Amino acid sequence: MSGTTGTTGTTATTGTAGTIEHVLVVGAGAMGRQIAMTAALAGCRTTVQDISADMLGAARAELEAWAEGRVAKGRLDRDAADGALGRLAWSPDLPRAAATADLVIEAATERLPVKTEIFTALGRHAPARAILVTNSSTLGSSKVADVTGRPEKVCNLHFFNPALVMECVEVVRHERTSEDTVETVMAFARRLGKRPVLLSREVPGFIANRLMGAVQREALALAEAGVASLEDIDTAARTALGHPLGPFELMDLVGLDVVAFIAEAIHAETGDEADRPDPAVAALVARGRLGRKSGAGFYDYAGSS
């Protein structure tokens, strides 16, 4: 976990892409705030930018509370916590925040027009040396590379939720991403205490969401065929395969609306009927059963399952 790696201030230097000292995270939502704290803990001066002052305030308060909790539990030094919080800056002003960035991590709302607008602005306002990455779960960076005027410095850097905890990050290059950019982003991810995996080309769902989708499809097929109960399918995944959560438990945790959204995005790319959101998931979403966050999904969280 990256919370204990925050005492060093070393910089990631590779090739001609230079040194990453100032990170800008665009979007202070669920992902952006934790990505920013991960970078700050690793010693990077990190600015968080969002169009919503409320989100900036909420993100700051959440990270301060998180750091306080870690210190209270003895999992993070007071100095490391204070140092990381001190390296964070908060801004509503993208041009200004981008002006000195070495690396920009875009973690804004998952809509292509939003991301296109942001990457256009980054192309204009970030220094020519700056690498621009997107945390998008479903959009390949090739969709926003051209508007930046520096497509060779653009790729996906996909964190998992919660970003402060999850070790995996997926680095996805598009056709024109340079070797130097890939190396710098991989080195940066390692500096954050992550274990980057590299995709040599864009595929819908990248690696982890494709694997998860395959397990979920099979679990749903078994349940729908009446072969086994949800509980027993989850138990088998945990006890035979060593998964920390069964597929239904995991879908409830991720949110069934998010599961359906990811499937829809993959289907839009592939056109493959097998990639469409499962009817059982869609039916639960339509009934407002979104998983843990709504109190019920495949399981009921109000009482027992």
Active site positions, annotated: 137, 158, 170, 209
Near ligand NAD by CB under 6 A: residue from 27, 43, 140, 246: 27
Residue 258, CA distances (Å) to 99, 230, 282 in order: 34, 20, 11
Range 40-59, binding ligand NAD (CB under 6 A):
49-52, 55
- Taking the least distance from each CB to ligand NAD, the nearer of 55 and 198 is 55
Q: What b/e string do you get for 72-86 counting C-beta neighbours within 10 Å, with b at 16 or more?
A: eeeebeeebbebbbe
**The token pair that represents 88 in the structure block:** 């964070």
Range 176-235, binding ligand NAD (CB under 6 A):
none
For the bound state, the minimum distance from the C-beta of residue 98 to ligand NAD, rounded and expressed in Å, comes to 11
Range 145-174, binding ligand NAD (CB under 6 A):
158-161
Say if CB 28 and CB 54 are below 8 A apart: no
253 binds ligand NAD (CB under 6 A): no
Q: Three-class SS of residue 149?
A: coil
Q: Three-class SS of residue 159?
A: strand
Cβ within 8 Å of residue 249, ≥6 positions away:
234, 298, 299
- Taking the least distance from each CB to ligand NAD, the nearer of 112 and 221 is 112
β-pairing, 168-172 vs 154-159, is antiparallel
For the bound state, the minimum distance from the C-beta of residue 204 to ligand NAD, rounded and expressed in Å, comes to 13
Range 85-124, binding ligand NAD (CB under 6 A):
107-110, 114, 117-118
Amino acid type, 271: G
For the bound state, the minimum distance from the C-beta of residue 115 to ligand NAD, rounded and expressed in Å, comes to 7
Binding range to ligand NAD, per CB under 6 A, among 24-32, 77-85, 170-178, 238-246: 24-32
Q: What angle do CA 256, 260, 262 make, to 5 degrees?
A: 115
Near ligand NAD by CB under 6 A: residue from 1, 11, 30, 190: 30
270 binds ligand NAD (CB under 6 A): no
For the bound state, the minimum distance from the C-beta of residue 51 to ligand NAD, rounded and expressed in Å, comes to 4
48 backbone dihedrals φ, ψ, rounded to 5°: -110, 125
- Taking the least distance from each CB to ligand NAD, the nearer of 153 and 158 is 158
For the bound state, the minimum distance from the C-beta of residue 163 to ligand NAD, rounded and expressed in Å, comes to 8
Q: Is 270 left (phi over 0), alpha (psi -120 to 50) or beta?
A: alpha
- Taking the least distance from each CB to ligand NAD, the nearer of 113 and 226 is 113
Near ligand NAD by CB under 6 A: residue from 14, 137, 156, 184: 137
What is the C-alpha to C-alpha distance for residues 215 and 223, in angstroms, rounded to an integer?
12
Burial of 182 (0-12, 13-18, 19+ CB in 10 A): buried
Rg (the chain; Cα; Å): 20
**The token pair that represents 75 in the structure block:** 């999992």
For the bound state, the minimum distance from the C-beta of residue 134 to ligand NAD, rounded and expressed in Å, comes to 7
Number of residues located near ligand NAD, criterion CB under 6 A = 26
Which residues of this protein are in contact with ligand NAD, per CB under 6 A? 26-32, 49-52, 55, 107-110, 114, 117-118, 135-137, 158-161
